[in-house]
Amino acid sequence: MMRMKSILVAAAVLAAASVTAKKSSVPLVYDQEFTGAKYAAPAFPSVSDAKNLETLPNPFEFENSKKQVKKFKDWEKRRAEIVRELQHYEIGEKPMVDKKDIEASLENNTLTVKVTRNGETLTISAQITYPEGDGPFPLMIGASNNSLPRQFFSERKIATMNFRESQVNSYSQMGGFGGGGQKKDRGDYEFDRLYPELVDNGAYSMWTWGVSRLIDGLEIVGAASKIDMKHIGITGCSYAGKMALWSGAMDERIALTIAQEPGGGGAAAWRVSQTLGKVENLGATDEHWFMKSMWDWKEENVSKLPYDHHELCALVCPRALLVLGNTDYEWLADEAGYVSCVAAREVWKKFGIEDRMGFSIQGGHGHCQLPQSQYPEVEAFIDKFLLGKEDANTIIMHVDKTLEDKEVQKWIPWAQVDFK
């Protein structure tokens, strides 16, 4: 009996050691915006050619191939395919920028980045709020604004900075107004001056492009920025929650993404949203945020999408992601967000790093007003992934009672869900 007990203990120790070794071999963040740039794009089927799939696509299956992701080294290529798909079908190309085309400076705690292309220059500026000390400090970027409690960052000596998206493209790209009351439309904004060939792009490709240029600027400024480039986070709420999620998905230099109440077009899976009530589904979101061609897939064609938004969430892997929801607002489609998060988490789980992906969907509070019940969850992610506190508990899969009995397994037949 004692010998059997010893064998079991030894096996448990070896298993734990194996998980630790596996986890330590998976990066927490990268020093490149897009590690998959070297891979060719997959084939992009049209609506008429796409296969119908009523469940969420398997994120481990390569397009046009029987090959599947078996090891972490396979994920880089598969991830690149999903990036290309999302840009092709939803938001448009997010162009890369050579550092020689960027000027950056930091004066009076304000970072200024100038990008020049074809004789046109776009300027983005952002004020950085620093804690006391010499740094380098972790940084939390607010997508449009940071709606999380300020003390989360000030008490932890984390610098903060907001990205003002209007410097790249207006909140209302369609039918907005510029200087002198002149009406502006798609193609008339700052980003469009640099990239007139991308006139059909949605705002989320432009906004994520702007966030990446700020990170470029920090790299160019170097040590003078007093920012720890390995510990950069981004957060936002509502439409800016989408912006944070898209930015974290599309820039691998972001270590932590906290998407607060991102709704449809964010974490929520389009296929699931289509089965719900008055929610932000594919045919009922803001058209200027996405490519016009995305609407070819609405209603009866949603199930023919070659991907879904659980894969948008999964693009953050192996970096850290926390999705926050609010069931009091039907429009946010949090049932679809719940299913999507469960499905996406399977990717982190496969590589033994499920502590890097969490979700907390709670009602009983105002829109973009973080309730006290979610404070410890958000703080845990900040502590572990911006401050490196390994003992922080980030195994968070928290939903309120309105979602507990919702069916999840039927949407992801390629995985075995081990919790409700």
DSSP letters for 295-353: GGGSGGGGGG-S--HHHHHHTTTTSEEEEEE-TT-GGG-HHHHHHHHHHHHHHHHHTT-
Rounded Cα distance, 359 and 375, in Å? 13
Residue 395: C-alpha distances to residues 115, 171, 320 (Å): 40, 35, 12
Q: Is the pLDDT of residue 309 over 90?
A: yes
Give the per-residue pLDDT at 176.
Answer: 52
Which percentage of the chain shows pLDDT scores above 70? 90
Task: Work out the pLDDT band at 25, boundaries 50, 70, 90.
Answer: confident
Task: Work out the pLDDT band at 171, boundaries 50, 70, 90.
Answer: confident
Q: What type of residue is 111?
A: L
Give the per-residue pLDDT at 174.
Answer: 46
Give the per-residue pLDDT at 419.
Answer: 60
* Nearest CA among 254, 124, 285 for reference residue 190: 124
* Nearest CA among 233, 220, 235 for reference residue 138: 233
Kindly state the tokens that stand for 342.
């469960």
Query: What mean pLDDT do residues 226-235 have?
Result: 98
Domains of the chain: 31-411 (3.40.50.1820)
Min mean pLDDT across 124-133, 149-158, 164-173 is at 164-173
Residue linked to tokens 């400090």: 137
Query: What mean pLDDT do residues 359-372 have?
Result: 97
Task: Work out the pLDDT band at 15, boundaries 50, 70, 90.
Answer: very low
361 bridge partner residues: 325, 399
Rounded Cα distance, 160 and 307, in Å? 34
Q: Is the pLDDT of residue 417 over 90?
A: no
Burial of 153 (C-beta count, 10 Å sphere; 0-12/13-18/19+)? buried
Kindly state the tokens that stand for 234.
């981004």
Rounded Cα distance, 97 and 95, in Å? 6
Give the per-residue pLDDT at 5.
Answer: 41
Q: Is the pLDDT of residue 9 over 90?
A: no
Give the per-residue pLDDT at 3.
Answer: 45
Before 149, cis peptide (omega within 30)?
no
Mean of per-residue pLDDT scores for the chain: 91
Quick check: is 367 catalytic? yes
Kindly state the tokens that stand for 122.
């776009």
Q: Active site residue: 154, 166, 172, 367, which one?
A: 367
Rounded Cα distance, 316 and 76, in Å? 11
Residue 70: C-alpha distances to residues 30, 78, 314, 353 (Å): 21, 11, 16, 15
Give the per-residue pLDDT at 13.
Answer: 40
Query: What mean pLDDT do residues 45-65 have?
Result: 94
Give the per-residue pLDDT at 7.
Answer: 41
Residue linked to tokens 């890097």: 356
Give the per-residue pLDDT at 320.
Answer: 98
Before 27, cis peptide (omega within 30)?
no
Q: Is the pLDDT of residue 70 over 50?
A: yes
Q: What is the pLDDT of residues 132-149, one digit of tens each?
A: 999 999 999 999 999 999
Q: Is the pLDDT of residue 12 over 70?
A: no
Residue 23: C-alpha distances to residues 20, 192, 319, 398 (Å): 5, 42, 12, 23
Q: Is the pLDDT of residue 177 over 80?
A: no
Quick check: is 238 catalytic? yes
Q: What is the 3-state secondary structure (H, E, C) of 157-210?
A: CCEEEEECHHHCCCCCCCCEECHHHCEECCCCCHHHHHCHHHCCCCHHHHHHHH
* Nearest CA among 127, 137, 142, 289 for reference residue 201: 289
Q: Is the pLDDT of residue 173 over 80?
A: no
* Nearest CA among 411, 376, 414 for reference residue 396: 376
Give the per-residue pLDDT at 276.
Answer: 96
Q: Active site residue: 212, 238, 247, 273, which one?
A: 238
Give the per-residue pLDDT at 316.
Answer: 98
Query: What mean pLDDT do residues 29-38 have?
Result: 97
Query: What mean pLDDT do residues 255-260 have?
Result: 98
pTM (2 d.p.):
0.93
